[in-house]
Structure 1
Amino acid sequence: MLFVYGTLRDPELLGAVLGRRARGLAAAAPGFAVVHYPGRIYPALLRRPGAAAHGLVLTDLTPFEIELLDAFEGAEYRRSIVPVMIDGELHEAFAYLLVISAADQPDWSLEHWQAEHKQQVLASERTTADELRLKLIAIRPH
């Protein structure tokens, strides 16, 4: 399971990256907040006692899609396990956490990103994902 809390919650962007529609369950990560990545238009997941980051848990990803998402998120993030609440039950899921500090950053909003940035970045994100997919396929053993 993968907890997504930022731009990957947008069905159109997630579909562009994966090349298909993924199944997601509403979830929240207790003790975390979604904040602005310093100097970027996308977010970071930051530990914050008393907060709860809302997102989706993707439940039907293939190993190849996890590799693709790892490459898409790049060196700025590392995949780590976080607690998530799904339908009132506590689970563990992977999430992408920053490798740098994002302390004191303001909260980030998917709705604001969708209104202000989505249309400008959707095509380039799709292109980036397509290029990564081809690279990963090329280096996979046959």
Structure 2
Amino acid sequence: MNPIDTDPPPPTACFTYGSLMCEDIMAAVCGAHAAYRPATLQGHRRHAVVGVAYPGMVPNADHRVQGVLYLELPDSAWPRLDAFEGEEYERRIVTVETDGGAHAQAWTYVFRPRFAHRLAPADWDFDHFLRVGKARFMADYVGFDTLQPR
């Protein structure tokens, strides 16, 4: 096979920017643990979603989003992540920059435009989520580790 005629394999990494930045939540959703590191996605903005503890991210050239890059997720993680994220999010390939300055391809979940009315004007605050929202999130989403793929 000629390497020029083949497409690169899809990424096995996932850039997370909300509740899944918490390793315990990510492992429960994915059904597996993965190595991770801090990363940044340019050209996007993270907003609070009205009435819930999690954020939505949308393209925005003037902003960047700090998050976590999980490396080498197993194939079995992707259907579980898709089910967890639901219809409000679309999985897309993006290029992120790690804390060491390297660039990596990763999947991420972007909030779909048809649900934009649910986004608050304010940015989502991860530290506030850890202090106040995580316990509520965990209570609201108990059982997400048993999600069936969609």
With the length of structure 2 as denominator, give the TM-score of the two structures: 0.78
Instruction: Select the residue among 123, 126, 130 that pairs with 1:114.
Output: 130
SS of equivalent residue, structure 1 residue 61: coil
1:2-58 per-residue CA deviation (whole Å, 9 max, x = no partner) reads 100110001222222233432112110011121112443210112222322011111
Is structure 2 residue 95 aligned with structure 1 residue 79?
no
Instruction: Select the residue among 7, 12, 22 that pairs with 1:10.
Output: 22
Instruction: State which structure, 1 or 2, has the greater radius of gyration over its C-alpha atoms.
Output: 2
2:61 equivalent in structure 1: 49
SS of equivalent residue, structure 1 residue 40: coil
With the length of structure 1 as denominator, give the TM-score of the two structures: 0.82
1:123 CA displacement: 4.2
Instruction: Select the residue among 38, 46, 58 that pairs with 2:70.
Output: 58
Stretches of structure 2 that go unaligned for 5 or more consecutive residues are: 1-12
Stretches of structure 1 that go unaligned for 5 or more consecutive residues are: none
2:5 equivalent in structure 1: none
> Whose helix fraction is larger, Structure 1's or Structure 2's?
1
* Segments of 4+ moved more than 4 angstroms: none
Q: Residue 47 of structure 1 aligns to which amino acid in structure 2?
A: P
2:7 equivalent in structure 1: none
Is structure 2 residue 112 aligned with structure 1 residue 96?
no
Identical positions, percent: 27
